[in-house]
Chain A
């Protein structure tokens, strides 16, 4: 069988075969293998509050350098749960698949999901599959939901950013967005960039257990660094000032963006996190982040300022100190970035 048939979504034998031969093969764990209607989760002995997050994934193209829609669907939800200072433990995943889908492709996706989940230490505890007629979806849509206990009280949240906080970033920005765009358009710089898609839950666990003072954790996914910083500035009614010269961007991303007229600060990332915490813990936090492969490039990029004391900017705004030492607004992304005329 090398093409997916509508039968596989019927709920009958064909469905069971798909689950047994493919999903269980790569998502193997006792909770799922019990094959009940619902997953039995043993819970958290400390009775801690839980974090839960869900997201649906569609990406064109579904396979790209550095990952595919499957690994992305795991990393994305794992990271979203983790950003509340939580330890993601269980995921659900639901597929909407297009009739005629190439089975080898589906296997690559499922395999990548299994590996990404295992690497992140989460299990896929429940799932669902629908197969829809050709043309009703674009190849494959995946929804994942993640659940896990929150490790620290109070949990890091956007409104907790406070004047005097340092703003840290775990590595270079723009890699994922440019990779996907480059692939989609068949552009020549494709070889030089790779998606940064990765799970951040282990860094987060170390950060919040060693430094409970962390105020905000956020992964700058769609809308990029600029949009995420604006969200945090807005939630906390502070001015966030960042230094352009300190924001790491790989030369290939700079070059690709300048070719397409795009701004790397608005491109999506799938394996980076922002951490806001009081100034005095900055060095320790950087040391923790750099301990992990995904945080090798961690740096401080700015600070949080009291709007009453800001020379530039108002509450809720992000001000960028440019390479030249000038100041300008770093505003939120409006709609999508489109390449320009000249």
Chain B
């Protein structure tokens, strides 16, 4: 069924797994930062093939999962306003707020919510509903932020003045630093996200090796990419030469995509941001620059982020930091299932709890 056969060729994979078994002689904990990696590892069955020496922990790389409780509360409140149309990617629809409501329930109660496939679709909605404010929920990492910035620029060019963005974007490198500063994490190496790296290149990750002595490999999302990335990290460890390498050259250049970065930086600037389960991380969010504030939904609509309590019993923070496996959360598969999610990690298609629920075979 795979049309990218060559990147998931079973023979090549077997050979790489054998090599990993041979070269990875000591237990080794690796964290894949990105939710797409989490799902790829489970979905391809790779997890059942990796040698026992390799311990796999999921990281904070699912944009839905790291969206802070207070951010969810804020956009839910906004969605219920009569003068707004909320445009969002589908995966936010079921993320529960503190009271158990979500965009789906808000929609059922009359909120105007539309699922879009790209921010440009949201711009089209703004044209369609000139009497309303169309707010696109800007949730995502460096991967999505440049496209959203480009959409905002386009809105200005086309003089569309009812298009707004709620920017809850997060940046990956500062989160990795925050994780490494937590003494309890204990990760031996990072599998770095291919999509984000397409934009930012390798430079922003260098501190992993330089400051913390931890190797990292940028990897793609096919099983062979993941295995190549793991082998690169194991080798760097064995040789005692930590570095950040690019194992996804067919998509990622070491320099990233300077044009995309420039557009993102023209519209947004870094600021401190709240991460679910982790707390505030310096410089890890993106807010509107002064020049672009007329597109900032928070400013234009006067929305205020209020303190919100974490969801009772949910261990998302520990899961996102790789401290526990999802099945170690007392609510997993009991009170928390994809149908009755307690936390976003169970809702998002890229969430580790959802991946465990969906793919993991208990032994």
Give A contacts to B, CB under 8 Å. 185, 187, 244-245, 247-249, 251, 254-255, 258, 260-261, 264, 312-314, 317, 319-329, 331, 334-335, 338-342
Residue contacts A-B, CB under 8 angstroms, 29 given:
A247-B1, A249-B1, A254-B2, A254-B3, A255-B3, A312-B361, A323-B10, A323-B44, A324-B10, A324-B13, A324-B45, A324-B49, A325-B13, A325-B14, A325-B45, A326-B48, A327-B48, A328-B42, A329-B359, A331-B359, A335-B338, A339-B117, A340-B91, A340-B348, A341-B139, A341-B140, A341-B350, A342-B36, A342-B144
Q: Report A-chain residues with C-beta under 8 Å of the C-beta of B48.
A: 312, 326-328
**Cβ-defined partner of A323 (8 Å) among B1, B141, B339, B350:** B1
Nearest 3 CB-CB pairings of A with B: A326-B45, A338-B90, A322-B45
Known A-B contacts A261-B349, A340-B349, A342-B141; A324 and B223 likewise in contact (beta carbons under 8 Å): yes
Assess whether B358 is in contact with A335, with CB atoms less than 8 Å apart: no
Q: Report B-chain residues with C-beta under 8 Å of the C-beta of A260.
A: 117
Task: Give bound CA distance, A340 to B64, whole Å.
Answer: 10
Please tell me if B253 contacts chain A, counting CB pairs below 8 Å. Answer: no
Please tell me if B46 contacts chain A, counting CB pairs below 8 Å. Answer: yes
Assess whether B47 is in contact with A326, with CB atoms less than 8 Å apart: yes
Task: Give bound CA distance, A324 to B44, whole Å.
Answer: 7
For B92, give the chain A residue with the smallest CB separation: A341
| Residue interface mask B90-111, A partner, CB < 8 A = 1 | 1111100000000000000000
Nearest-neighbour CB distance to chain B for A261, whole angstroms, equals: 7
Q: Report B-chain residues with C-beta under 8 Å of the C-beta of A261.
A: 349
Known pairs A324-B8, A338-B91; list 5 more (Cβ under 8 Å).
Answer: A323-B2, A324-B49, A325-B13, A338-B90, A342-B144
Assess whether B90 is in contact with A326, with CB atoms less than 8 Å apart: no
Please tell me if B195 contacts chain A, counting CB pairs below 8 Å. Answer: yes
Task: Give bound CA distance, A342 to B147, whole Å.
Answer: 11
Task: Give bound CA distance, A338 to B143, whole Å.
Answer: 19
Task: Give bound CA distance, A325 to B2, whole Å.
Answer: 14
Chain B, interface size category, equals 35 or more
For A174, give the chain B residue with the smallest CB separation: B1
Assess whether A329 is in contact with B3, with CB atoms less than 8 Å apart: no
Within 8 A of A (CB), among B157-199: 195
Please tell me if B241 contacts chain A, counting CB pairs below 8 Å. Answer: no
Task: Give bound CA distance, A258 to B4, whole Å.
Answer: 11
For A260, give the chain B residue with the smallest CB separation: B117
**Contacts between chains A and B (CB distance < 8 A), count:** 110
Q: Report A-chain residues with C-beta under 8 Å of the C-beta of B2.
A: 254, 323
**Cβ-defined partner of B361 (8 Å) among A245, A264, A328, A334:** A328
Q: Report A-chain residues with C-beta under 8 Å of the C-beta of B127.
A: none
Task: Give bound CA distance, A185 to B144, whole Å.
Answer: 20
Please tell me if B337 contacts chain A, counting CB pairs below 8 Å. Answer: yes
Q: Report A-chain residues with C-beta under 8 Å of the C-beta of B8.
A: 323-324
Please tell me if B360 contacts chain A, counting CB pairs below 8 Å. Answer: yes
For A317, give the chain B residue with the smallest CB separation: B361
Q: Report A-chain residues with C-beta under 8 Å of the C-beta of B90.
A: 338-340
Nearest-neighbour CB distance to chain A for B120, whole angstroms, equals: 13
Within 8 A of A (CB), among B7-60: 8, 10, 13-14, 36, 42-49
Nearest-neighbour CB distance to chain B for A144, whole angstroms, equals: 28
Nearest-neighbour CB distance to chain B for A248, whole angstroms, equals: 8
Please tell me if B357 contacts chain A, counting CB pairs below 8 Å. Answer: yes
For A245, give the chain B residue with the smallest CB separation: B1
Please tell me if B216 contacts chain A, counting CB pairs below 8 Å. Answer: no
| Residue interface mask B42-82, A partner, CB < 8 A = 1 | 11111111000000000000011000000000000000000
Nearest-neighbour CB distance to chain A for B361, whole angstroms, equals: 5
**Cβ-defined partner of B360 (8 Å) among A247, A251, A328, A340:** A328
| Residue interface mask B108-152, A partner, CB < 8 A = 1 | 000000010100000000000000000000011101100000000
Assess whether B94 is in contact with A335, with CB atoms less than 8 Å apart: yes
Task: Give bound CA distance, A238 to B357, whole Å.
Answer: 20
Nearest-neighbour CB distance to chain B for A282, whole angstroms, equals: 21
Task: Give bound CA distance, A328 to B357, whole Å.
Answer: 11
Nearest-neighbour CB distance to chain B for A119, whole angstroms, equals: 30
Assess whether A341 is in contact with B89, with CB atoms less than 8 Å apart: yes
Assess whether B46 is in contact with A338, with CB atoms less than 8 Å apart: no
For B50, give the chain A residue with the smallest CB separation: A326
Nearest-neighbour CB distance to chain A for B99, whole angstroms, equals: 20
Assess whether B361 is in contact with A322, with CB atoms less than 8 Å apart: no
Assess whether A334 is in contact with B337, with CB atoms less than 8 Å apart: yes
For A254, give the chain B residue with the smallest CB separation: B3
Assess whether A339 is in contact with B49, with CB atoms less than 8 Å apart: no
Assess whether B45 is in contact with A320, with CB atoms less than 8 Å apart: yes
Assess whether B144 is in contact with A326, with CB atoms less than 8 Å apart: no
Task: Give bound CA distance, A317 to B360, whole Å.
Answer: 11
Nearest-neighbour CB distance to chain B for A60, whole angstroms, equals: 13
Q: Report A-chain residues with C-beta under 8 Å of the C-beta of B363.
A: 312
Known A-B contacts A324-B49, A331-B358; A341 and B338 likewise in contact (beta carbons under 8 Å): no
For B48, give the chain A residue with the smallest CB separation: A326
Nearest-neighbour CB distance to chain A for B94, whole angstroms, equals: 7
Task: Give bound CA distance, A322 to B49, whole Å.
Answer: 11
Assess whether B43 is in contact with A328, with CB atoms less than 8 Å apart: yes
Q: Report B-chain residues with C-beta under 8 Å of the C-beta of A319.
A: 361
Task: Give bound CA distance, A320 to B361, whole Å.
Answer: 10
Q: Report B-chain residues with C-beta under 8 Å of the C-beta of A323.
A: 1-2, 8, 10, 44
Task: Give bound CA distance, A312 to B363, whole Å.
Answer: 7
Most chain A CB within 10 A, of B1, B10, B91, B350, is at B1
Q: Report B-chain residues with C-beta under 8 Å of the C-beta of A339.
A: 89-91, 115, 117
Assess whether B46 is in contact with A324, with CB atoms less than 8 Å apart: yes
Q: Report B-chain residues with C-beta under 8 Å of the C-beta of A341.
A: 63-64, 89, 91-92, 139-140, 144, 350
Known A-B contacts A261-B349, A339-B117, A342-B195; A327 and B361 likewise in contact (beta carbons under 8 Å): yes
